[in-house]
Amino acid sequence: MVLVGVDLGARAAFDPSLDELALLAESAGDAPVARLVTRRKAPDAALYVGSGKADEIKALVEGHAADGVLFDQPLSAAQQRNLERKIGVPVADRTMLIIEIFAARAQSHEGKLQVELARLSYLATRLVRRWTHLERQRGGIGGRGGPGEAQIELDRRMIGERIKTLKERLERVQRQRSTQRRAREKSGAFRVALVGYTNAGKSTLFNALVKADAYAADQLFATLDTTTRSLHLEGVGRDVTLSDTVGFIRELPHKLVEAFKATLQEAADADLLLHVVDASSPRAAEQVEQVDRVLAEIGAGRVPQLLVYNKLDRLDETKRPRRLVDQVERAGGERSARVFVSARERQGLDLLRRTIVEAVQGTHGLNAGTESQPRVEPPHAAHAATSVTG
């Protein structure tokens, strides 16, 4: 794969390293062989990039014998088709790649239905565009209803029918799920859900906290289905459950968010979110913002959050925090407790457990927007802080 990124200036988010796109490609089983970054004021209507750039991409493809091109920016159906024609290999964009990864990873019946729904809804909009495009071309010739139109009309109808069936099946599965959820609600358990950017370490933390062995891997979207276990906490007179959930990503395709609403509902229904952040990522702040955005979109924006800054072991000695627990101001002026841990090295987990206990017992306003009571540092934290800073 040749990776292409187009910097549109302030108009859109841009990752000059293309590292995330490379990780996405690898997660989909494609090997990135070359990267090309270019800058434009606005996308070209026909090719997204200029025609000279397209020639450059073609040369890169030929030079590396690459089998495809991957754009970090969303391509229209026409741009994709024109690029394929010009370059001579399949061209895809980030959205399509994310949907393909979800499709390959889906395990549960519900997950598979949700992915197929997202994929077909995505395809359907492409077909519509392709269709209007053909119609425009035919307008010049003057004929009505050529074979192209009939075929596309058929495809559209088939896709439409399939989407309808999928939605019905999903509704059935989701009714079952909400029955299960009501049963859990009745049991009165306090529900904690792990949320966060993909690859932040949610599943690793889940495994460390509940001694499970959920699939954790250096891949994007390793987890697609929600897993729930009970979480044992010292000194809490209540049952607490912990759920591991699907990770988020910048510009998570809207169709996926929509299709995965039921799975994501786990986060919206939680009493507390453990928002896991890869503290070693240079883009950590941006990722927190992206996660908050998706949370708001699925109706989980008001669930109290506890920030868990993970992968502490990967931080340079000089960059490690002095205190392993503190309070930070969030967008909107709210405050959240923040705990630094290393899920892999099992570091800081006792402190995290204690902070969760405090949240369960409601001893301090996590996200409440009220002033935070002066917080007494648990003696353990000071000890842990000295042990990591040496």
**Near ligand GTP by CB under 6 A: residue from 131, 221, 260, 309:** 221
Size of the site for ligand GTP (CB under 6 A): 24
CB 259, CB 163: distance < 8 Å: no
As measured in angstroms, the least distance from the Cβ of 278 to ligand GTP is: 7
What one-character DSSP code corresponds to residue 347?
B
Binds ligand GTP (CB under 6 A): choice among 283, 344, 364, 380: 344
Rounded CA-CA distance 161/328 in Å is 49
Among 342, 354, 355, 384, binds ligand GTP (CB under 6 A): 342
The residue among 275 and 311 lying less far from ligand GTP, judged by its C-beta, is 311
Cβ distance 150 to 114 under 8 Å? no
Footprint on residues 245-304 left by ligand GTP (CB under 6 A): 247
Judge contact between 7 and 27, C-beta under 8 A.
no
The Cα–Cα gap between 78 and 47 comes to 8
- According to DSSP, the residues that pair with 328 across neighbouring strands are 336
Helix/strand/coil (H, E, C) string of 204-243? HHHHHHHCCCCCCCCCCCCCCCCEEEECCCCCCCCCEEEE
Is 263 a binding residue for Mg ion by CB under 5 A? The answer is: no
Q: Which is nearer to ligand GTP, 54 or 220 (CB)?
A: 220
Binding of Mg ion by 203 (CB under 5 A) = yes
**Which of the residues 8 through 37 are near ligand GTP (CB under 6 A)?**
none
CB nearer Mg ion, residue 35 or residue 202: 202
- For residue 195, the minimal CB distance to ligand GTP (Å) is 9
**Which of 300, 226, 297, 294 shows the shortest CA–CA distance to 269?**
300
Q: Interacting stretch for ligand GTP, rule CB under 6 A, among 79-87, 194-202, 226-234, 379-387?
A: 194-202
Strand partners, 36: 4
| Residue in 21, 24, 209, 216 binding ligand GTP, rule: CB under 6 A | 216
Contact 30, 70 (CB under 8 A): yes
111 binds ligand GTP (CB under 6 A): no
Binding site for ligand GTP (CB under 6 A): 196, 198-204, 216-223, 247, 310-311, 313-314, 342-344
Binding site for Mg ion (CB under 5 A): 202-203, 222-223
